[in-house]
A and B are shown apart, each in its own frame.
Chain A
Amino acid sequence: MEPISGIWAYVAMSLKATGIFTVVILVVAYTTLAERRVSAWIQDRRGPNRVGPFGLLQPIADGIKNILKEETLPATASRFFFVLAPILVLVPSMVTFAVIPIAAPLPTPAGVVDMVIADLPIGILYVLAFSSLAVYGVVLGGWASNNKYAFLGGMRASAQMVSYEVALGLSLITVLMMAGNVTLTEIVWQQQQLGMWFAFPLSLAFILFVISAFAETNRLPFDMAEAESELVTGYHTEYSAMKFSAFMISEFGHMVTSSALMATLFLGGWDLPGTWDDAHWYQGQLIAGFAADGSVILANPAWWKTLLTFAGFAAKTGFFLVVYIWVRWTLPRFRYDQVMSLGWKVMLPTALAYVMLIAGTILVLDEIGVPWGFGYGLALTAVSGMATFAFMFALDRGRTITGAAAQRGQRVEVKTTPTATARAGS
């Protein structure tokens, strides 16, 4: 099969760009509804269920409400930066999806179409570049409002995002070492070749990445920039109507993108178990793998494979979206100093040590000539499993995972009043 070319390549490109963008916006709209419904479910309420069946038209009603509302501009705000901030925060959250492959290549009469908007040679670095620019919108919004709460929110956001970007980047390095390339299509392909998703051989990187992604998207338990119990709503306190909506859309857009990214990096992207759907461009051919003698096995793309793998990708992304919402309504917010000390004193050293460990293991495995495949993955899984266990054990300090029953002997005596002690003694 030939890759699509000529005029049809442009047609396919425009269709993909508009299609994927529309789907992302729709998913963002319905994630806001899902958040409210799931939160209601967790708190034993009903949630919005009046607009349309099961409240399904609620995002549309919210959109109309926000467009019709009055745009306010605080008297002391810096007008230009105040308007610029929501734009600066919205754009990065929307463009990062462009490099994420969403399904197996689709065969058409004109040629095979890759199901990714732009398979850039810098792949994941493009995502990092744009997500690192998103912080400007948050910080400027807080600063331009000329409001103490908004200002504190913006300050917190800048410090937090810079801190967690380091851990995020370091946990990514292990994935790049395994894949040997930075493009996301190559990362998916190497997971297919390994016969194992990177969540297993790189389990600790997976955990560190998820934690950092929560911090980067400013979601609970890391939503220090908003922290409504301390800062009203933080950096967007002074915003209303569509400008406020832009901040919300970008927050959910970041959630969708980082969910898709976690699915791609650690859960195989669109890959489904088995080798029937494997496909990758290699020297101008779409191959499914290599035979024992080194010759290529040609892939056999089909529309139903594209459809099924897209469903798999959507399920994985949806899983992480649910986890985002689930965590938000389960965990309390960190204190600001706790966020900082977790980032610099726990995440950064752990990620650094883990990069060394994985690099060493890969070097040993390559030196003794283990072929890239399932056994290679199992060896790394064992090493990573031990590292993950040690990390969890150290973080837990015998509290949650070990359980209270196992550590009765080390329980700290609580100082009680004489009456309470007497009562307990009797």
Chain B
Amino acid sequence: MTVFLFYVFAGIAIGASIGVVIARSPVGSLLFMVTALAAIAGTFVLMEAHFLAAVQIIVYAGAIMVLFLFVIMLLNLGHEAQRDLKGGAFAVVSAGLAGAMAGLLALQLRGSEVVAGSGAGAEAIAAANAEYGVVGAIARPLYTTYVVPFEITGILLLVAIVGAVALAKRGEQS
């Protein structure tokens, strides 16, 4: 059952990702992107990573992509009458690059099998979930073993926010 659902979600994710690239309007691309993110959240659930799945939906699908949509609408792109996306040589080059990437991945993953929901890793996750709850299983290593990288990431985000505010303020003054 888990393996079957994995193929369903993986199929949706791949199909939607192709849709992101070939959709005619930016809004269509964006909705395909949201679908792909949701399907990946589904595969996270199959791997017992419930918290990651929820955060994937809340942060990526629910916040970041809404901002994308906001920007697309603010620039008034994407009505069916016009084509806003680039084509021609650009499309050929990107298709080639994507094909090369897919080929390399296939070469690397050849011979491996789907182990979602089974194996040693899954057992460790299930044990951690049972002991600390699905949020605690992430929080505990994050705030003990990996606390320094975690804090550095926090500082990085803070720098990005300060930079965004500074840019907005500079535009205001001139």
Contact = CB atoms under 8 A, between A and B. Distances in A.
Which bucket holds chain B's interface residue count?
A: 20 to 34
Interface stretch (B62-70, B91-99, B105-113, B149-157): B62-70
Given A78-B79, A140-B27, A132 B69 contact: no
Interface stretch (B7-15, B50-58, B114-122, B166-174): B50-58
A122 B129 CA distance: 11
A122 B63 contact: no
5 contacts: A125-B54, A135-B62, A139-B69, A158-B69, A161-B66
Given A121-B133, A132-B63, A81 B50 contact: no
B34 interface: yes
Contacts of B62: 128-129, 132-133, 135, 165
B51 A162 contact: no
A151 B73 contact: yes
A125 B70 contact: no
The 9 nearest A-B residue pairs measured at CB: A132-B62, A125-B54, A129-B57, A121-B134, A122-B54, A122-B50, A158-B70, A129-B58, A121-B50
Given A121-B134, A162-B66, A181-B133, A155 B73 contact: yes
A140 B31 CA distance: 10
Interface of B: 25, 27, 31, 34, 50-51, 53-55, 57-58, 61-63, 66-67, 69-70, 73-74, 79-80, 129, 133-135
Contact of A139 (B63, B66, B129): B66
A143 B73 contact: yes
Contacts, number: 79
A334 interface: no
User: Interface majority SS on B: helix, strand, loop or mixed?
Assistant: helix
A182 interface: yes
B27 to A, nearest CB: 7
A136 B69 CA distance: 9
Interface centre among A129, A159, A165 (most CB of B within 10 A): A129
Contact of A132 (B27, B57, B70): B57
B79 A120 contact: no
B34 A136 contact: yes
A159 B53 CA distance: 24
Given A126-B54, A146-B79, A136 B66 contact: yes
A49 B73 CA distance: 43
Interface of A: 78, 81, 120-122, 125-126, 128-130, 132-133, 135-136, 139-140, 143, 146, 151, 154-155, 158-159, 161-162, 165, 181-183
A122 B69 contact: no
Contacts of A125: 51, 54-55, 58, 135
Contacts of B50: 120-122
Nearest to B65: A136
Given A140-B27, A181-B133, A182-B135, A158 B57 contact: no
Nearest to A125: B54
Interface centre among A81, A120, A122, A162 (most CB of B within 10 A): A122
Contacts of A128: 54, 58, 62
